[in-house]
Structure 1
């Protein structure tokens, strides 16, 4: 691709004006290739929608739980809801400008280039950059944003001054997400454009990416290697949280063992451990709205999962809940169009994942607070004569 022959169209993703601007520009320039800010999965989904093809959009809840993708799934769902909500406000479906680009390119017989990174890679990299508190703040911020109370001027979102203000605020609130969603994708999009063999190219991207793409195109040596941008990496530094969570069950076992060696009768303490663990697993599940069967399973496995750092009680209660709450295609579709907590509460996917989170949270409270104070610290004091 020749830099001087590249035309970048910065769009708002739910803007009727952007749709017309994209189509008019492609018809006017008639480039050798049209580049769009989509990956293969999103392009396929959009293309099927254009052709009226009903996709099998069923989701395996069991797979989500077993692969520990609950957080990723919830973030994806909330982001989809947020964009759909804005689209409804302005009566434009999200991705309409990409549809316009595809239609114009096909009409002129121009090949397409899919220049964006896989969405799951982007979200996983973003989640790995966030602390637990950052994740909670991010989800609360999205869920509590009320588009009904504000007049939405989508075209203003393409104004560079407005974009700078919005992105700076986003950068201050969540720098890790900003780096992945903005800077990294700017680099990825710019690198994809440079790899296009044709000279004359029209690129359709979100307006927020246009300045960053231009900076990278002006300084291509600063673009990281493709392999680095696609790599799923854990947080930098020592994973102290994981280390501590792994050491806690070991510490529990060691205290029991030392007490036994010192001739202390630990029968009551073991009953305490089992009883508290089972009670918290049961309560965490049932208070999350589970079936009684799921709560019983969560309670029964809780003592074992506390001792075994690679297991989680919520997995078992969630998998049990999934057997009783049949997830249907309408549950997946409705996730992107909920209007309040009542809609979520009536959604089987949300209810299953809520059981996973609730059970794990309750068992974590037992592990970090109740068991140490009620069982292991008193036992430790007995061992060392405190």
Structure 2
């Protein structure tokens, strides 16, 4: 197949501006070469890339992970988001190892040439955190759980990328391909991962043309986005600014998942009251059940995550108390304890991206291990809450 077919192009004329859309494959060396060829031989006055500020920073400053405030991540409850990003990075590293080229090489090339030639560089993609939240908002809680489990499970796999996955990668959107590998229903992912981003990037291009008046713009995007962006550019869009604002709205979390823990706390405390009213011995037996089951399962989770022995003890003590206050999770306490007992070194942060490409590496690296401890101890406490709750109910009805 000729190179021009692998890197399709479309031109869109918008008033006095010409927009050249170059469809690329993010794991294709020929795509990087095509970007170089166009920019070195063309008269483009600006270059737009399929990156948001966060992904741009991660691409050009990969060592920024070393500056991550892990305790702040825990306090702000961003552990699952960080773990997901690391797992996605691990999957993409597998691609790099198999193809011998880093994903996004054509974006790096576009950035490099734009900066060296003093061309305006435009970041037109939506923030990845917003996209991930809108993906989650488009899935049921069960599909979110299976998707997250699948992404984390990818670090266990030593298999090379299949032929089917390679074909999807040739379509050019690595974010969509990465998620789609673990999704049961890819249609659920299409709107937030592809269609919304097509609209967003088209609106960003129109916004930049209106404000800066670029006459000749090269847009480097995954081939899977090229036609969608072109179609939205040619369709009437009353207000690009308004459309961007609409697509940046993050879905509000449902209220009922937040209410359930408080309802469980109310039931458990009511159980304690009823137990002590019947007899002090029954009341204390219920308290003992709560402490042993909840604390034991949280401690087991910390133990499975290879936590420090004192962190395991902390999990046992903290979980029965934190479960009665859903605002503070057991994982927050165990992660803080682990950070105090085994403070990550600069080398841990430096190796984080590579270590998380393997199952063993997640437990070996102090940064990722702290995240795993948070997750497992929280999961253990959550399971313990329900198990202990049912145990209390059984004693009361006997």
TM-score of the aligned structures, taking structure 2 as reference length: 0.82
Instruction: Pick closer, same or farther for the CA change 1:156–1:121 going to 2, 3 Å.
Output: closer
- 3-state DSSP of counterpart to 1:34: strand
Aligned equivalent of 1:195, options 191, 194, 207:
207
Seen in structure 2, the aligned counterparts of structure 1 residues 258 and 220 have a Cα distance that, compared at 3 Å, is: farther
CA contact (8 A) 1:23 1:101 kept: yes
Corresponding residue for 2:130?
121
1:66 to 2:83 alignment: no
Quote how far apart the aligned CAs of 1:11 are.
1.0
TM-score normalised to structure 1 length: 0.84
User: Is the counterpart of residue 186 in structure 1 residue 198 in structure 2?
Assistant: yes
* CA deviation profile, 1:187-218 (whole Å, cap 9, x unmatched): 21111111122232110011221122123223
User: Cα 1:120–1:57, aligned 2, differ >3 Å: closer, same or farther?
Assistant: farther
Instruction: Note the C-alpha offset of 1:293.
Output: 0.7
1:100 aligns to what?
109
The Cα RMSD (Å) is: 3.3
CA distance in 2, matches of 1:271, 1:368: 15
C-alpha distance in 2 between matches for 1:66 and 1:297 = 17
Does the CA-based 8 Å contact 2:35-2:106 persist in structure 1?
A: yes
2:292 corresponds to 1:275: yes
Question: Which of 24, 40, 47 does residue 37 from structure 2 map onto?
Answer: 24
Note if 1:215 corresponds to 2:231: yes
Superposed, 1:197-346 pairs within 5 Å as 197=209, 198-221=214-237, 225-235=243-253, 238-261=254-277, 266-338=283-355, 339-346=357-364
The separation in 1 between residues aligned to 2:182 and 2:147, in whole angstroms, is 14
Give the counterpart of 2:93 among 71, 84, 95.
Answer: 84
Partners of 2:79 and 2:73 in 1: CA distance: 6
Deviation at 1:290, TM superposition (A): 0.8
CA distance in 2 between counterparts of 1:153 and 1:269 reads: 52
Helix, strand or coil at the partner of 1:266? helix
SS of the counterpart of 2:66? coil
Q: Which residue of 2 aligns with 1:372?
A: 389
Given the superposition, is the C-alpha separation of residues 43 and 285 from structure 1 closer, same or farther in structure 2, using an over 3 Å criterion? closer
Between the two proteins, the alignment pairs up a number of residues equal to: 372
SS of the residue 2:271 aligns to? helix
- 1:32 to 1:337, Cα distance in 2 relative to 1, 3 A: same
Partner Cα separation in structure 2 for residue 189 and residue 252 of structure 1: 50
Aligned counterpart, 1:362: 380
Supply the distance in 2 between the matched residues of 1:281 and 1:170 (Cα, whole angstroms). 28
Measure, in 1, the Cα distance between the counterparts of 2:295 and 2:335: 16
Identify unmatched segments of 5+ residues in structure 1.
none
User: Once the 2 structures are TM-superposed, how far is the Cα of residue 74 of structure 1 from its aligned partner?
Assistant: 0.9
Say which SS state the counterpart of residue 139 (structure 1) adopts.
helix
Q: How many angstroms does 1:263 deviate by? A: 6.2
Q: CA contact under 8 A between 2:299 and 2:316: conserved in structure 1?
A: yes
For residues 177 and 165 of structure 1, the distance between their equivalents in structure 2, rounded to whole angstroms, comes to: 10
Aligned position for 1:138:
150
Decide whether aligned partners of structure 1 residues 77 and 169 sit closer, same or farther in structure 2, where only a CA change above 3 A counts: closer
Structure 2: give runs of 5+ residues left out of the alignment.
1-11
Of 40, 48, 53, the match for 1:35: 48
- Per-residue deviation, residues 258-311 of structure 1 (Å, max 9, x unmatched): 444566752332233233333233222223211111111111111211211212
User: CA, structure 1 residues 336+152, in 2 after alignment: closer, same or farther (shift >3 Å)?
Assistant: farther
Could you list the per-position Cα deviations for residues 76-132 of structure 1 after superposition, in whole angstroms to 9, with x for gaps in the alignment? Answer: 011112222212322222322122212332344321111112222222333444424
Shift in Å, 1:358: 1.4
